[in-house]
Chains A and B, each alone.
Chain A
Amino acid sequence: MTKGLRNKMKLEQLKEILQAKVLCCGDHLDREIEMVCGSDLMSDVLAFIKADSLLLTGLTNPQVVRTAEMAEITAVCFVRGKQPHAETIKLAEARKMPLLTTGLSMFESCGRLYREGLHSCDETK
């Protein structure tokens, strides 16, 4: 029916859906994402994530931002209310990469975004 057409979502709206708090770069919430990847394994993220996606993760170290930078991920949202290290936020600010944190679990976060029409990164377009 709508095959081939991907739903896009502004970070602003995604923030509402995940009831997330913005940790940095709140002035870039007009960016849009098409796909979502939920993982704590950075090598998996590097292997499968597509550019312009959101990364949902429980990891909070600066390597998350580095990984996101290499893979051209639009924004990162930490799950289970995790608070990243100050260094992580500093690095993200320098890269103008919005960071969010949600109190929801990984499962619930993925479920809500999937329901809103966002897709997984390993699905073929």
Chain B
Amino acid sequence: MKPNESKPSSGADPSENSGAFAGPDSTRYTKIQELVYELKVSDAMMRNIITTTPDTSMSELREILRANRISGTPVMEGGKMVGVISIEDFIMWLGSGKADCPIKEKMTTEVDTMYANEPLVHAIGKLDKTGYGRLPVIDRQSGKLIGIITKGDIIERLLHKLEIEYHEEEIHRYRASHIFEDIIGDKVALTFQSSVKGKDFSRAGEASSGLKKTLERLGIHPQIVRRAAIASYEAEINVVIYTDGGTITASVQPDKIRIDVNDTGPGISDVDKAMQPGYSTASEWVREMGFGAGMGLVNIKKCADKMELVSTVDKGTHLRIYIDINNTQEHSKAG
């Protein structure tokens, strides 16, 4: 593999081919624009290629196009593509009233092609620029013809992709709202608890991992789940590092998640100080694990919409975190 060929799309400058997709404000992109960069030609192309040979006659071509409901085919000879014949070529031949002849006399021999791993937007640009109805697709490594792409294929693929994403989002919302709709009560909350073992670093994170999974199953927005998981995980690490153990209790309500992290000691002597970024009393072994840099509580605060910390030395620490379920904006508080 040559170095230049190992890279899909070879870092092509997307701005050069944006054509019809460049909006007035070039820093904002629509979903479709995102998709045409994200999807590759190979995602949209037809892999089932109908081909003809140079010696196929124009009258036979008519039947091939009609039977397969296609508007053109690559012309192959000895495993190599030697041209493309399209319905336009066929109509021109028909209009000229000339006698039947082999395809090779009417086909286009200088064929524009696409590589399978180019972004879809390049194919759109090329179809626009050349006015061709279809482009043969070549595998960059082997140089072989592996598909053919038309505007119709591109539109079909985009619509399909949009439908899938729309559908997934719908299911998310349906499930999230539904569980609470089905429960009758003036105040509804779903509560679940996990215990956390102190000083046992190998299992640290299990409780938060479970919490994350449960919130996902409840269909809560991924952004919210992520914030709850990070906050809970940092709190869990604190319980493991500093205490002999505790519990994490999550209470999911229709509009918010409340996470309580409780332990029975040793407590924080100066809560204000503990909240300062970089302040830590962690021992060396904790730092070696990648924690104990005095960022835990700061991170929790950043993820939470509201946080309460009450601690009594020798008695224990109670941390309460609220996360607003409807606040799906990217959190940048204190960032």
**Contacts from A to B (Cβ < 8 Å):** 1-5, 7-8, 10, 13, 16, 40-47, 51, 57, 59, 61-64, 66-67, 69-72, 87, 116-117
Measured between beta carbons, the chain B residues less than 8 angstroms from A64 are 290
Measured between beta carbons, the chain B residues less than 8 angstroms from A1 are 13, 15
Q: Does B127 contact A (CB under 8 A)?
A: no
The answer to whether A2 and B212 touch across the interface, beta carbons within 8 angstroms, is no
Secondary structure of the B contact surface, majority rule: helix
Cα A104 to Cα B248 with chains together (Å): 40
Q: Which 4 A-B pairs have the closest CB atoms?
A: A66-B205, A43-B295, A42-B290, A4-B27
**Can you name 18 A-B pairs with beta carbons within 8 Å?**
A1-B15, A2-B15, A3-B27, A4-B28, A5-B14, A13-B8, A16-B6, A41-B293, A42-B291, A43-B295, A46-B230, A47-B295, A61-B201, A67-B290, A70-B209, A71-B226, A116-B7, A117-B11
* B206 CB to nearest chain A CB (Å): 8
Cα A43 to Cα B289 with chains together (Å): 11
* Residues 262-298 of B contacting A (Cβ, < 8 Å): 289-291, 293, 295-296, 298
Residue from the list A40, A51, A116, A117 in contact with B226, Cβ < 8 A = A51
**A1-B15, A44-B293 as given contacts; A70 in contact with B26, CB under 8 Å:** no
Q: Does B233 contact A (CB under 8 A)?
A: yes
- Most chain A CB within 10 A, of B13, B201, B204, B230, is at B230
From A4, which residue of chain B is reached at the shortest CB distance? Answer: B27
Q: Does B174 contact A (CB under 8 A)?
A: no
* A110 CB to nearest chain B CB (Å): 17
The answer to whether B291 and A63 touch across the interface, beta carbons within 8 angstroms, is yes
Chain B interfacial residues counted at CB < 8 A: 36
Q: Does B48 contact A (CB under 8 A)?
A: no
* B279 CB to nearest chain A CB (Å): 12
The answer to whether A5 and B29 touch across the interface, beta carbons within 8 angstroms, is yes
Q: Does B234 contact A (CB under 8 A)?
A: yes
The answer to whether B290 and A116 touch across the interface, beta carbons within 8 angstroms, is no
Measured between beta carbons, the chain B residues less than 8 angstroms from A47 are 295, 298-299, 302
**Contacts from B to A (Cβ < 8 Å):** 6-8, 11, 13-15, 26-29, 37-38, 201-202, 204-205, 208-209, 212, 222, 226, 229-230, 233-234, 237, 289-291, 293, 295-296, 298-299, 302
Residue from the list B14, B38, B209, B298 in contact with A2, Cβ < 8 A = B14
Measured between beta carbons, the chain B residues less than 8 angstroms from A42 are 289-291
**Beyond A5-B29, A13-B6, A69-B205, 12 extra complex contacts between A and B, CB < 8 Å:** A1-B13, A4-B29, A5-B14, A41-B290, A44-B295, A46-B234, A47-B295, A57-B290, A61-B290, A66-B204, A70-B212, A70-B233
Cα A5 to Cα B200 with chains together (Å): 43
Measured between beta carbons, the chain A residues less than 8 angstroms from B289 are 42, 59, 61, 63
* B239 CB to nearest chain A CB (Å): 14
The answer to whether B233 and A116 touch across the interface, beta carbons within 8 angstroms, is no
Residue from the list A4, A59, A69 in contact with B212, Cβ < 8 A = A69
**A13-B7, A63-B289 as given contacts; A43 in contact with B229, CB under 8 Å:** no
- Most chain B CB within 10 A, of A46, A57, A71, is at A46
Cα A45 to Cα B222 with chains together (Å): 18
- Most chain A CB within 10 A, of B27, B212, B290, B298, is at B290
Cα A19 to Cα B202 with chains together (Å): 30
**A8-B38, A13-B6, A59-B290 as given contacts; A66 in contact with B209, CB under 8 Å:** yes
* A61 CB to nearest chain B CB (Å): 6
Measured between beta carbons, the chain B residues less than 8 angstroms from A43 are 234, 290-291, 293, 295-296, 299
Residue from the list B8, B13, B212 in contact with A10, Cβ < 8 A = B8
Measured between beta carbons, the chain B residues less than 8 angstroms from A116 are 7, 11
**A2-B14, A7-B11 as given contacts; A70 in contact with B293, CB under 8 Å:** no
Measured between beta carbons, the chain A residues less than 8 angstroms from B230 are 46, 70-71
- Most chain B CB within 10 A, of A5, A40, A44, is at A5
Residue from the list A13, A46, A62 in contact with B233, Cβ < 8 A = A46
Residue from the list B37, B204, B205 in contact with A5, Cβ < 8 A = B37
